[in-house]
Structure 1
Amino acid sequence: MDNLENLVKECGVELYDTEIANENGRAIYRVYITKNGGVSLDDCEKVSRLLSPIFDVTPPISGEYSLEVSSPGLERKLEKPKHFKSSIGELVKIKTAVLSVQGRLLDASDEAINLQTNDGKIQIDYVNIKKAKTYLEW
């Protein structure tokens, strides 16, 4: 992942996350990138052109797959402390083993997050988070 992070930086963007998906029996290796001001189609193409020949020699997963490069989107998964830190001020939905809560992300440390909910402020440790994502109110 560190090598991938450095390669992506060469294209002027940051690595947000990677995932392996299986759609219609096809394996897809997704690389999500971000940058201030938003990710353009050119950014995605640049990263794809850089990674494709490298992945031809050293595949990221075994077997046949397709490479997709995109932004994580407006509503995106939050898994790592850096994801939460870059989403401070945004609306988030959090699921733990015992509760589902939504609110505004006030801050994020390396161990926990603080949310402002309709019922007040709460702190949730990362180890307790089962699922988290940003969301938009329409």
Structure 2
Amino acid sequence: MDILELEKLLEKTLEGINCTLYDVAFLKENQTDILRVSIKACDRPTSLDVCQEASLLISPLLDVSAPSLKAYTLEVSSMGLERTLSKPRHFALSIGDLIECRLSDNTRIRGVLESAQGQEIVLNTEGTLTPLSLDKIKKAKTIFEFGKAKNPKKA
């Protein structure tokens, strides 16, 4: 099973508990192979209980649907407050968040992510809407500012 097939399987499965897939990564830490699945709850905070529910749902599914995967440890976690954005899905799930982008020419731009459609995003930088193409973004990440109110649309 390749990564795209795995992502589709996980997306469909997570819908059943009203969650969405943020990312999937295969990692190696201290000689241990890890399958890290990052999720976002659609209708509530992504709590430890939500991650545990997702893990209990995903684990037997992977045993049956992807038996060819070598031995691994499954980790299910929230997508996190500060995270790297690299896929269109990452941007779509971060609408309303403060993000910083480093562009191809090394300039940096920071603003609230207003929209994300396919390969295009729009940042609100102090009231100015700035459209950006994902192919012009070298690196992007969300920024969490302690003590600042979260976007009321996302609360």
Query: Shorter chain as normaliser: what TM range?
Result: 0.7 to 0.9
TM-score, reference length from structure 1: 0.82
Contact 2:22 2:93 in 1 (8 A): no
Indicate yes or no: 2:57 matched with 1:71: no
Contact 2:23 2:39 in 1 (8 A): yes
1:19 maps to which of 25, 34, 43: 25
Shift of 1:48: 1.2
Q: Where does structure 1 lack aligned partners over 5 or more consecutive residues?
A: none
When residues 116 and 27 of structure 1 are mapped into structure 2, their CA distance, relative to the original with a 3 A threshold, is same
Equivalent-residue separation in structure 1 for 2:137 and 2:68 (angstroms): 27
SS class of match (2:18): coil
Indicate yes or no: 2:149 matched with 1:136: no
SS class of match (2:36): strand
Residue 123 of structure 1 aligns with which residue?
A: 131
SS class of match (1:89): coil
CA offsets 1:70-89 (integer angstroms, 9 cap, x no match): 11111122233333233223
Q: Where does structure 2 lack aligned partners over 5 or more consecutive residues?
A: 1-6, 147-155
Residue 50 of structure 1 aligns with which residue?
A: 57
Sequence identity (%)? 39
TM-score, reference length from structure 2: 0.74
Equivalent-residue separation in structure 2 for 1:4 and 1:131 (angstroms): 26
Residue 4 of structure 2 aligns with which residue?
A: none
Please say which of residues 122-131 and 79-88 is displaced more in the overlay.
79-88
What is the aligned residue count?
Answer: 138
1:104 maps to which of 104, 112, 117: 112
| Aligned partner letter, 1:117 | T
SS class of match (1:37): coil
| Aligned partner letter, 1:31 | V
2:94 maps to which of 87, 91, 94: 87
SS class of match (2:94): coil
Contact 2:99 2:142 in 1 (8 A): yes
Equivalent-residue separation in structure 1 for 2:145 and 2:57 (angstroms): 36
Shift of 1:123: 2.3
Shift of 1:61: 7.5
Equivalent-residue separation in structure 1 for 2:74 and 2:130 (angstroms): 39
Q: CA RMSD in A?
A: 2.4
The runs of 4+ residues in structure 1 deviating greater than 3 Å are 57-62
Please say which of residues 62-71 and 99-108 is displaced more in the overlay.
99-108
